C-alpha cells in the first residue's frame, strides 16, 4: 500500500479574507480578486519550509505577484522576494529582462520560458521553499530551481533573500488579478532520526496526531505533517507519561506576531533594569510567550519568549539573587521570528542545563523543591507556536 500523502491546508477558505490583512482585495465567487487599488494582501502567519499551491488568472496586459519571506513592514514587492505573475506576450512586456518575466523572482532569479495560459484562463503555480532551496513550477513544469544562499551572496542587501521565514503576500499592480485554491503544506525541519534513536532517544510526538498527550476538549493543538501546532487560544498540553531525570531535544518557532506590550529589561544577573528613579524599565515588543513545564511543576518552566534576556529563562525560580543569576540566560540565542530554533534541556536530580541553537544559556542551575517525577507540559497562553522533532532520553 502506498504511503498516505500529508494533506495541505487551505490558506483561503473561499468565503472571506480570514487569516489575511490588507486592502483593495475582494472575494468574488470563491476567488480572491485584486481591485485596481489593491497593493498587497498579507497572511497573518509566518512560514518557513513549505510547499505553496495556488491558481492565478491574469487580465489582458496586467500583472501581479506573490511575495515570499516578507517581514511585515515596507513594500512586500521589495522587502520580500517577489514572484512575478504577468503575461509575457503582452506588447508592453516583450522588452523585459529574464528576471522580470513570469515565474521569475524579480531581479534575483530568472525562470525559463514556460507554458503560460492566455490571459483570462487559470494557471497553476507551485512554490517549494526550504532553508536554502527554492523551486517554482508553472502548470506542472519546473521553471526555476535556485539556491537561496547563492542568491544572498550576490544580493547581500536584499531583505527578502536574507530572511529565512516570513509572511506570504498576494500582490497587485492595477489589474484584476484573481487567485484561488491557495493551499500550503508546511514541513518540519530535518532531523537525524537514526542518530538520535541510536543515542537512546525516543519520540514524544509522532508527527501525525496527539497520541501520548492530554488536551481535553480544546482544539488549540493539532498535528500537521510532523509539526505540533498551537493556534493561540489558551490551553496547555501535557504528556500522559511522567518522567524524572532526562534530556529533552525539540525544535520550535513562532508563527505569528504578538501584541505590542511592555516587557521588563532583564539583565545578565536576572534583575530588572531600573531607571534612576527606581522604576522598572520596559521595552515595547510584540510579545511572544510559551514554555516547557518540567516534572509537572509549574515554576519549573523553561521559557520560550522574546524578552531581552532570550529564551531559556526559568522565571518561576527568582526568589534569591543566586537563583535569579543561575536561571537567567547568559546570552540571547533566539533566531528571528518564523525561523526554527532547537532547544536541549538536561535535567538530573534538581540540576538543569539548557542550550539554544547549540549555545549554552543555562548551566547547572539548581531548582529547589522540584518533584522527582512528573509530566512534561507545553504552555499555550496565547502566542502561536510550532513544535517539531520532540525527543526525550530518560536517564
Cα–Cα distance for residue pair 265/285, rounded to 1 Å: 11
- Domains assigned to the chain: 9-186 (2.60.120.560), 193-394 (2.60.120.560)
For the stretch 34-69, pLDDT in tens is 998 999 999 999 999 999 999 999 988 888 999 999
Q: Do 49 and 37 contact (CB within 8 A), yes or no?
A: no
Of 298, 262, 86, which Cα lies nearest the Cα of 177?
A: 86
Distance of CA 120 to the CA centre of its chain: 34
Cβ-contact 380, 220 below 8 angstroms = yes
Could you report the per-residue pLDDT of 174-199, keeping only the tens digit for each? 789 999 999 999 999 888 888 888 89
Cell of 253: 518557532
Buried b (16+ CB within 10 A) or exposed e, 31-54: bbbbeeebbbbbbebbbbbbbbbb
Question: Does the pLDDT of residue 289 top 60, yes or no?
Answer: yes
Residue linked to cell 504577468 = 86
Average pLDDT over residues 229-253: 95
Reference 170, options 338, 49, 337, 12; nearest CA is 12
pLDDT over 50 at 285, yes or no:
yes
Average pLDDT over residues 336-352: 96
Residue 61 is predicted with a pLDDT of: 80
Question: Exposed, middle or buried: residue 117 (CB in 10 Å: 0-12, 13-18, 19+)?
Answer: middle
Chain centre to alpha carbon of residue 368: 35
pLDDT at 11: 97
Are 180 and 55 in contact by the 8 Å Cβ rule? The answer is yes
pLDDT-based confidence at residue 2 (cuts at 50, 70, 90): very low
25-42: average pLDDT: 95
- Residue 194's pLDDT is 80
Q: What average pLDDT does range 272-300 have in this prediction?
A: 95
- pLDDT tens digits for range 211-227: 999 987 788 999 999 99
Residue-level pLDDT at 125: 97
Specify the DSSP class assigned to residue 80. Answer: S
State the Cα–Cα distance between residues 281 and 395, nearest whole angstrom.
42
Residue ranges of the alpha helices (H) in 199-346?
Answer: 321-326
Contact 380, 290 (CB under 8 A): yes
96/161: higher pLDDT: 161
Backbone phi, then psi, for 386, in 5-degree steps?
Answer: -115, 145
Is the per-residue pLDDT at 362 higher than 90? yes
Give me the half-sphere count of Cα atoms (radius 13 Å) on the Cβ side of residue 4. Answer: 5
pLDDT at residue 4 greater than cutoff 80: no
Cell output for 342: 532547537
Higher-confidence position of 111 and 131? 111
How much is the average pLDDT of 265-287? Answer: 92
Could you tell me the pLDDT band of residue 306, with boundaries at 50, 70 and 90? Answer: very high
- Residue 171 Cα distances to 35, 78, 107, 268, angstroms: 11, 11, 16, 44
pLDDT given at position 5: 63
The mean pLDDT of the chain is: 93
pLDDT above 50 for 241: yes
Q: How confident is the model at residue 1 (pLDDT cuts 50, 70, 90)?
A: very low
Amino acid at each position: 500500500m502506498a504511503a498516505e500523502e500529508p494533506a495541505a491546508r487551505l490558506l483561503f477558505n473561499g468565503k472571506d479574507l480570514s487569516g489575511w490583512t490588507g486592502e483593495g482585495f475582494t472575494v468574488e465567487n470563491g476567488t480572491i480578486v485584486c481591485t485596481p487599488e489593491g497593493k498587497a494582501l498579507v497572511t497573518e502567519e509566518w512560514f518557513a519550509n513549505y510547499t505553496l499551491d495556488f491558481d492565478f488568472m491574469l487580465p489582458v496586459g496586467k500583472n501581479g505577484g506573490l511575495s515570499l519571506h516578507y517581514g511585515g513592514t515596507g513594500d512586500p514587492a521589495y522587502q520580500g522576494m517577489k514572484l512575478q505573475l504577468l503575461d509575457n506576450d503582452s506588447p508592453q512586456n516583450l522588452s523585459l529582462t529574464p528576471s522580470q518575466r513570469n515565474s521569475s523572482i524579480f531581479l534575483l532569479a530568472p525562470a525559463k520560458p514556460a507554458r503560460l495560459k492566455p490571459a483570462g484562463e487559470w494557471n497553476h503555480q507551485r512554490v517549494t521553499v526550504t532553508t536554502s532551496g527554492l523551486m517554482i513550477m508553472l502548470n506542472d513544469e519546473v521553471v526555476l530551481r535556485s539556491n537561496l544562499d547563492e542568491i544572498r551572496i550576490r544580493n547581500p542587501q536584499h531583505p527578502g533573500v536574507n530572511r529565512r521565514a516570513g509572511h506570504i503576500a498576494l500582490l497587485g499592480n492595477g489589474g484584476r488579478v484573481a487567485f484561488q485554491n491557495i493551499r500550503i503544506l508546511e514541513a518540519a525541519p530535518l532531523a537525524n532520526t537514526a542518530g538520535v534513536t541510536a543515542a537512546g532517544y525516543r519520540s514524544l510526538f509522532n508527527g501525525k496526531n496527539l497520541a501520548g498527550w492530554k488536551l481535553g476538549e480544546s482544539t488549540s493543538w493539532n498535528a500537521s505533517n510532523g509539526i505540533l501546532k498551537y493556534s493561540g487560544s489558551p490551553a496547555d498540553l501535557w504528556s500522559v507519561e511522567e518522567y524524572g531525570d532526562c534530556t529533552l531535544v525539540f525544535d520550535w518557532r513562532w508563527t505569528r506576531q504578538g501584541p505590542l506590550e511592555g516587557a521588563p529589561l532583564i539583565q545578565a544577573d536576572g534583575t530588572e533594569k531600573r531607571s534612576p528613579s527606581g522604576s522598572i524599565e520596559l521595552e515595547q515588543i510584540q510579545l511572544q510567550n510559551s514554555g516547557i513545564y518540567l516534572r509537572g511543576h509549574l515554576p519549573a518552566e523553561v521559557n520560550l519568549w522574546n524578552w531581552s534576556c532570550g529564551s531559556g529563562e526559568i522565571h518561576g525560580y527568582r526568589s534569591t539573587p543566586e537563583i535569579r543569576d543561575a536561571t537567567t540566560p547568559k546570552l540571547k540565542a533566539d533566531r528571528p521570528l518564523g525561523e526554527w530554533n532547537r532547544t536541549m534541556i538536561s535535567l538530573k536530580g534538581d540540576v538543569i542545563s539548557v542550550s539554544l541553537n547549540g549555545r549554552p544559556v543555562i548551566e547547572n542551575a539548581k531548582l529547589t523543591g522540584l518533584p522527582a517525577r512528573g509530566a512534561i507540559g507545553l504552555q499555550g497562553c496565547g502566542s502561536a507556536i510550532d513544535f517539531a522533532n520532540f525527543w526525550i532520553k530518560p536517564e
